[in-house]
Chain A
Amino acid sequence: EAGVAQSPRYKIIEKRQSVAFWCNPISGHATLYWYQQILGQGPKLLIQFQNNGVVDDSQLPKDRFSAERLKGVDSTLKIQPAKLEDSAVYLCASSILPGQGHFPHYEQYFGPGTRLTVT
Chain B
Amino acid sequence: TQLLEQSPQFLSIQEGENLTVYCNSSSVFSSLQWYRQEPGEGPVLLVTVVTGGEVKKLKRLTFQFGDARKDSSLHITAAQPGDTGLYLCAGARSEGAQKLVFGQGTRLTINP
Q: Which residues of A are at the interface with B, using a C-beta cutoff of 8 A? A: 4, 31, 40-45, 48, 55-56, 91, 93, 95, 98, 104-113
Interface SS of chain B: loop
As a 0/1 sequence over residues 62 to 79 of chain B, the CB contacts with chain A under 8 angstroms (1 = contact) are 000000000000000000
Say if the beta carbon of B82 comes within 8 Å of chain A.
no
CA distance A42 to B43 in the complex (A): 10
> Which residues of B line the A interface, CB within 8 A?
4, 6, 9, 30-31, 33, 40-45, 48, 50, 88, 90, 92, 95-96, 98-100, 102-105
User: Which of A55, A105, A110 makes the CB contact (< 8 A) with B42?
Assistant: A110
Least distance between B44 CB and chain A CB atoms (Å) = 7
A-B contact list, 17 entries, CB within 8 Å: A43-B43, A43-B88, A44-B102, A48-B99, A56-B99, A93-B42, A95-B98, A105-B30, A105-B33, A105-B48, A105-B50, A105-B92, A105-B96, A107-B33, A107-B48, A108-B98, A108-B100
